[in-house]
Structure 1
Amino acid sequence: MAVVAIDKKDLLAFVGKALDDGELARLVTDLGMPVEKITESEVQVDITPNRPDMFSAEGLGRAISSLAGIKTGLRNYSATDSGVSVSVERSVKKVRPYIAAAIARNVKMDDALVKSLVALQEKLHDTLGRRRRKVAIGFTDFNKLKPPFTYKAVKPDESPFIPLGQSEPWTPARILKELKQGQDYGYILEGHGQYPLICDSEGNVIALPPIITAEMVKITPSTRDVFIDVTGTSQHAVHECLKIICCALADRGAQIQSVNINYGKKTLTTPDLSPLKTMLPIRTVNKILGMDFTTEQIKEYLERMGHGVEIKEKGKLSVVSPTYRNDIFQEIDLAEDVAIAFGYNNFEPILPQFSSIGKRSPSDVRAGLIRDLMIGFGFTEVLAPYITNRATNFEKPMLGEHPAIHIKNPLTENFTMFRSWCIPSLLEILAASKDQKMPQKIFEVGHAAILVDGKPVEQEKLAAAICDPKTSFNEMRSIVEGVAYELGLKLEFAGLDSHPTFIPGRAVEIIMDGKPIGVFGEIHPQVLNNFGIEQPVTAFELKLA
């Protein structure tokens, strides 16, 4: 979640009604957003990642206004053609391939807008933008620019310009090395032989995304027309961020104009503010929620969540969702909005309308026996996230990357894929526990997943690790043999010629029925260093099924 601090007076202006603190807190909580605190001047709210449109006073205000019944139904947004274009050169393809842009006309650059816009920009950077790696947003004074624009990549020592807050030209390489913004975000461009620039028709540099804009085009109190550029590595995320920003500015009275993005043979017009249309069966909503709502009731609830709704035919609704709702994908998302508007606290718990006799599954019984066994060996059970990242799963253990299950649109850099093995998770836990007394003996009964012939295969595994100055290959071997004896497993061990995670000659493969099911040994010192572990570690991992 992202904690957002919003000016209370500004927020209530977009709600359209004076609310006391209790009513305001109730409405925000009903939207599913925990309230941190409300003061005389500020509201602090935890906004869930699926609703980035609420990161600003405009977005949260419109959601509260709809839910409270003050202004319900669809809010329409549109963009007129500016006639402005951005040409995208092939040179940016391997660096930062996507850009979207818009122009906001007649912007009233007051303190409330500046504060809200900057806060929205930074929250989008930190969440959808993955600290600017995935998406970065720039604002410049359009009247100081000379369109059309070019988005291209140049060598680090080419195209010097005066960056924001400076008085002399700097090369991109110097900006990344010496300027604070470059030091903070230069890692995003690290390893690339070229850096992206946005330039106008006269060759003036507008911005070095995702680092900084140029001093000559900065926003000032007299700015009335704002050029918005959004660049990134995900075209979908780039376009979604631009739509959220444009809707926020439109709510403050700005007129939005579109920009044509030319990718050679393909041209896109951004932003696309057209709403999403869905045919929603009433039966589907009632089945999901376990209710018996009428068509009129569901229509009312959806309108209180900002949707446009028409009764088109018997048993179905035509639902038009606002352009800023990038969390609406299918019918179940609309059913969730119905539940929010109805109020989760208003649902009455009911017992299932059938009888059954429950019992533990065989795999759960076995897992329980294993837990008891490992605790008897002196180990402490840990629970690690099944979702991890490339660095933890492959790079730190020095394991060559192999086909794995990756998240298409991850919410954070720390959780981008399903782990393919469990030992790295244990090493992460040991790294976070290095100040605790020795020996540290931990285990996990958990799941990992791999791709077999392009299809995901989930595996239940037992993994354990010992961190102690005296731990050794023989100690871990005795644990593995003890587990095998107690579980009645007939295991064989085969020496591993090479496994980069373990010390050469100090690791073996675990074999059962002629097939490899696991590995154990002493962790390589470089791997320990990669995880920040200062003491020797032995570990094992084996498939349970």
Structure 2
Amino acid sequence: MPVITFKYTDLKDLGIDMEKDELIDTLPMMSSDIEDYDDEEIKVEFFPNRPDNLSVEGVARSFKGFLGLETGLPNYPITPSNEEVVVDAEVAEIRPYIAFAKIDNVDFTGDKLKYIMDFQENLHWVIGRDRKKVAIGIHNADVVNAPFKYIATPKDANAFVPLEKDSEMTPDEILTEHDKGKAYAHLIDSFDKYPLILDKDDQVLSMPPIINGELTKIKEDTHNIIVDVTGTDERAVNQALNIICSSFAEVGGQIKSMEVKYEDKTIVSPDLTLQEMNVHVDTANELIGGTDLNAEDIKGLLEKARFDAEVLNDNEVKAIIPAYRVDILHEVDIVENIAVQYHINSVEAKLPEINTVAYENDWFRSESIIREAMVGLGFQEIMSLMLTSEEAHYEKMNQEEKPHVQVARPITIDRTMIRTSLINSLMEFLEDNKHEDLPQKIFEIGDVLYLDDSKENKTVSSKKLAALICHSTANFTEIKSVMTSVLSNLGYTMEISDSENKTFIEGRVADVEGVSEKGYVKGFFGEISPEVITNFTLEYPVIGFEIEFINK
């Protein structure tokens, strides 16, 4: 999870004068975790749902509310800069969205420059999905001139000096020769043109999402900046800009808006419009448990959470939410903030009033039978996380990426989606254990999640069984025999048909269906293709199957 580092003196400069021991005891009460500390600085971990706390300014803002030093909405005035950004229609197919802001009177002296760079990279992970969804650029505003242009440029045009270099490179050269270019080339190298941000005189500010230009490099004596945020998700782009602008404004930065002109619309950026949401007193008391809060109590706690609040009646309070609080999606999120400000440790523990008689779920009884059958065939069970990444789930498995459930605030870049298959998790397990003796025979019974618009929560879960075998002579005949034994032991009749599953070797893979009185299964089995095996750095043949259980 994101970890930020700051000195105790940084909080003191921001208005929080607290002894080290008291600070270390108090910070975890506001949904954080102390990773490490010494006599000068502290490392604090925040959950990804609070990207506004990934800067020391954001921490101070939240902490002041928690301590009652400052309550209610912070005021961040915006004045027009009378400058504009013109968006070329050609970027719509590459990175279609951009948000811009000017911020004057910033301070980058001391450790502040390092802090803002760390803040930027944390937002790239938490909101930007490692720049795929959102990329952020921060520039010296005093060396460029409006109006600005966001264009799609040919690969060999508009050469410029990239950050930390001393000679010009074309966009294509940056992707193939520059360290940052090679690291993030996969985000744009499939397009015929690349995005660039230029000023009035065609000076290059940035090549998003890859790298900024050396021209606009931020230094300690920089006082006025331009922030650009580009991406593939308009909502996420605007959220990232709001968080950055609010953080700078917290320490005296003066936000100036800019007009972003698309072909069909003009948007004023940033937009710090407040959000409103009602919270019910009875709902809050029920969800927190052990509390007897009234409307006035909740109003006060919301103000400590840096919201404004208005009592509507005895059972309803309107919460007015700042634009940087991008985690507030539901009334439950408001209740969570109330609980934090009330202090979780102050909630009285008590036993539930309802007694129940427990019994084993039917599916878990079935799981035991499946597990017994697999162990009887010589397999060892593994248990992996439901979270994985698009790279491991699709790219490394030779599969086309399909619509799937994404993690809005991923903890790490390799846990960005919820799986729809188990096979790649088993392949990752083999990769991690390739030093062990062969043969290796592993299986997993686990849940997967699909998108389904017909459901209330737009998703549906399903149970799957998958297994892999790795050794020097593994082949199609062996896995077919295993598949037959598994389905037979579970009471299913088996039918197989041709398959075009790209994870497997063509002609050595089959689709399978099984039918029984309780329902049916469908899936596939075969020999994993050499390309997939290589993608997971394995050296021996791998065979496997996966089936999905569908109840009648």
> TM exceeds 0.5?
yes
Provide structure 1 residue ranges, at least 5 long, that are not aligned to the other structure.
none
Structure 2 residue 545 is the aligned partner of structure 1 residue 523 = no
Task: Call closer, same or farther: CA 1:280–1:490 in 2, change over 3 Å.
Answer: closer
SS for the counterpart of 1:34 is strand
Task: Call closer, same or farther: CA 1:366–1:101 in 2, change over 3 Å.
Answer: same
CA apart distance, 1:372? 2.6
SS for the counterpart of 2:28 is helix
> Counterpart of 2:332?
332
CA contact (8 A) 1:89 1:152 kept: yes
| Cα distance in structure 1, aligned partners of 2:91 and 2:485 | 57
SS for the counterpart of 1:518 is strand
| Cα distance in structure 2, aligned partners of 1:406 and 1:249 | 33
| Cα distance in structure 2, aligned partners of 1:32 and 1:65 | 14
Q: Percent of aligned pairs with the same residue?
A: 35
CA apart distance, 1:358? 1.1
Task: Call closer, same or farther: CA 1:486–1:497 in 2, change over 3 Å.
Answer: closer
| Cα distance in structure 2, aligned partners of 1:181 and 1:486 | 53
CA contact (8 A) 2:405 2:451 kept: no
> Counterpart of 1:121?
120
Structure 2 residue 193 is the aligned partner of structure 1 residue 191 = no
CA contact (8 A) 1:404 1:449 kept: no
> Counterpart of 1:501?
503
Task: Call closer, same or farther: CA 1:516–1:40 in 2, change over 3 Å.
Answer: closer
| Cα distance in structure 1, aligned partners of 2:300 and 2:453 | 48
Task: Call closer, same or farther: CA 1:464–1:492 in 2, change over 3 Å.
Answer: same
> Counterpart of 1:543?
548
Q: Which one is further off, 238-247 or 104-113?
A: 104-113
> Counterpart of 2:98?
99
CA apart distance, 1:413? 4.7
Letter in 2 for 1:398: N
Letter in 2 for 1:500: K
> Counterpart of 1:316?
316
CA contact (8 A) 1:445 1:463 kept: yes
Q: Which one is further off, 309-318 or 161-170?
A: 161-170
| Cα distance in structure 1, aligned partners of 2:264 and 2:536 | 46
Normalising by structure 2, we get a TM-score of 0.91
Q: Which one is further off, 108-117 or 62-71?
A: 108-117
Letter in 2 for 1:375: V
Task: Call closer, same or farther: CA 1:449–1:209 in 2, change over 3 Å.
Answer: closer
| Cα distance in structure 2, aligned partners of 1:497 and 1:71 | 64
| Cα distance in structure 1, aligned partners of 2:170 and 2:240 | 29
Task: Call closer, same or farther: CA 1:23–1:530 in 2, change over 3 Å.
Answer: same
| Cα distance in structure 1, aligned partners of 2:507 and 2:220 | 68
| Cα distance in structure 1, aligned partners of 2:499 and 2:231 | 43
Letter in 1 for 2:358: G
Structure 2 residue 474 is the aligned partner of structure 1 residue 471 = yes
| Cα distance in structure 1, aligned partners of 2:264 and 2:212 | 28
SS for the counterpart of 1:459 is strand
> Counterpart of 1:152?
151
| Cα distance in structure 1, aligned partners of 2:156 and 2:93 | 18
| Cα distance in structure 1, aligned partners of 2:277 and 2:175 | 46
CA contact (8 A) 1:462 1:542 kept: yes
SS for the counterpart of 1:517 is strand
| Cα distance in structure 1, aligned partners of 2:450 and 2:321 | 37
Task: Call closer, same or farther: CA 1:315–1:467 in 2, change over 3 Å.
Answer: same
Deviation track 1:114-168 (CA, whole Å, cap 9, x = no partner) reads: 2322221222123322232322222222222221111111011111223334444
Query: Where in structure 2 are the equivalents of 1:16-415 lying within 5 Å?
Result: 16-290=15-289, 291-400=291-400, 404-407=403-406, 409=408, 411=410, 413-415=413-415
| Cα distance in structure 1, aligned partners of 2:547 and 2:140 | 60
Task: Call closer, same or farther: CA 1:5–1:317 in 2, change over 3 Å.
Answer: same
Task: Call closer, same or farther: CA 1:408–1:84 in 2, change over 3 Å.
Answer: farther
Provide structure 2 residue ranges, at least 5 long, that are not aligned to the other structure.
none
Letter in 2 for 1:503: I
| Cα distance in structure 2, aligned partners of 1:202 and 1:302 | 48
Task: Call closer, same or farther: CA 1:498–1:299 in 2, change over 3 Å.
Answer: closer
User: Could you say what the CA RMSD is over the residues aligned between the two structures, in angstroms?
Assistant: 2.4
CA contact (8 A) 2:295 2:313 kept: no
CA apart distance, 1:46? 1.1
CA apart distance, 1:400? 4.8
CA contact (8 A) 1:78 1:274 kept: no
| Cα distance in structure 2, aligned partners of 1:351 and 1:434 | 48
Letter in 1 for 2:536: F
Deviation track 1:341-368 (CA, whole Å, cap 9, x = no partner) reads: 1222222332222222110011111111
Q: Which one is further off, 519-528 or 227-236?
A: 519-528
Query: Where in structure 2 are the equivalents of 1:480-499 lying within 5 Å?
Result: 480-487=483-490, 489-496=491-498, 498-499=500-501
Q: Which one is further off, 309-318 or 333-342?
A: 309-318
SS for the counterpart of 1:227 is strand
| Segments of 4+ moved more than 6 angstroms | 452-455
> Counterpart of 1:534?
539
CA contact (8 A) 1:10 1:112 kept: no
SS for the counterpart of 2:175 is helix
CA contact (8 A) 1:309 1:318 kept: yes
